[in-house]
Amino acid sequence: MKLAVIGYPIHHSKSPFMHNTWLQECGLKGSYEAFEVSPDQLREQVVDFEKENFTGYNVTIPHKENIIQYLDEIDASAAELGAVNTVVIRNGKSYGYNTDGHGFLKSLLTKRTAQEVKSSDILIVGAGGAAKGIAGSLHSFGAEKISIANRTVTKADQLIESHGLTGDSMDLAAAQEQIGRFDIIINTTSQGMYPHIHQEALDASEMKAGSLAADIIYNPLKTQYLKKAEAAGADILNGVGMFVFQGALAFEKWTDREPDTASMINKITQDMNQE
């Protein structure tokens, strides 16, 4: 079984470590490798994977949206989001899926009950591919109030409209002013990701105590945003859970096996702590 992840750059990815561990634990023969693929090589790479009988692959930044045009079919949720992070190859044809939003939701439910998620005043920071996936999954799950903050408000407006959300769209300055209002704030931007660890999309120091700050970044484990939120008395959730759960959903599509997510979250957390 041949599996892969494609991105540009890709050297930082923990996906090969995670999936190769799972293959071993499930007693499956195969390997999972990282391929650095520039945007102009994308089409060729999709064809190569089909020719070389790969079972499937993950897709990361910056290819999640562009890859759609080269696939044979995409499922309804990936089509709605306009982003694919998982490809399954069957009989020489490529099928696209998106497991990001569902992966985040599973991670969030380790910190909040279903009822708490549904009744929370939620703010998503950012309006890109990850924000679309997370907003879609939360909305489908039954979250009643989801607002979007983005540098460009028109993108936030579009996301609110396309998903039929009942919250507000706002720029980052407005979100900063209202930060104490929200029960859950989710950073989906790359602000604070290694090596730019001192950046933050929002200053979380005025979040209300007992609220939840979530970040989809897992390198570093605790971004500037999460540190400030924690100091303000908020609960925090880093991106390791989302990364592992979205990976597990992809792994199940390729292998029909359910991998051990709990031990993987611990392994990746330990691994990141040692770096």
Same domain, 163 and 108: yes
Work out the angle at residue 136's Cα, subtended by the Cα atoms of residues 119 and 128, and round it to the nearest 5 degrees: 115
The answer to the question of whether 14 is labelled as a binding residue is yes
Count of the separate structural domains present in the chain: 2
The answer to the question of whether 130 is labelled as a binding residue is yes
Name the percent of the chain in helix, strand, coil, to the closest 5: 45, 20, 35
DSSP string spanning 115-146?
HHHHHSEEEEE--SHHHHHHHHHHHHHT--EE
Same domain, 109 and 231: yes
3-class state of residue 47 by DSSP: helix
The answer to the question of whether 147 is labelled as a binding residue is no
Query: What CA–CA distance (Å, rounded) separates 103 from 117?
Result: 15
Question: Angle between the 240-255 and 15-25 helix axes, to the nearest 10 degrees?
Answer: 50
Given its phi and psi angles, is residue 164 left (phi above 0), alpha (psi -120 to 50 degrees) or beta?
Answer: left
Query: What CA–CA distance (Å, rounded) separates 91 from 88?
Result: 10
Question: Other CB atoms closer than 10 Å to residue 208's CB: what's the count?
Answer: 13
Domain that holds residue 224: 102-237
- Residues tagged active-site: 64
Question: What is the pLDDT at residue 89?
Answer: 99
Q: Kindly give the parts of the chain with pLDDT less than 70.
A: none
The answer to the question of whether 155 is labelled as a binding residue is yes
Residues 104/216, Cβ–Cβ less than 8 Å:
yes
Same domain, 28 and 41: yes
The answer to the question of whether 85 is labelled as a binding residue is yes
Same domain, 61 and 10: yes
Question: What is the pLDDT at residue 253?
Answer: 98
DSSP string spanning 242-256?
HHHHHHHHHHHHHHS
What token pair was written down for 155? 């993108």
The answer to the question of whether 246 is labelled as a binding residue is yes
DSSP secondary structure code for residue 219 in this structure: S
3-class state of residue 186 by DSSP: strand
- CATH classification of the domain holding 58: 3.40.50.10860
DSSP secondary structure code for residue 239 in this structure: S
Same domain, 152 and 216: yes
Same domain, 109 and 208: yes
Same domain, 223 and 258: no
Give this prediction's pTM.
0.93
**Phi and psi at residue 24, in whole multiples of 5°?**
-65, -50
Same domain, 118 and 188: yes
Same domain, 125 and 218: yes
Question: What is the pLDDT at residue 80?
Answer: 84
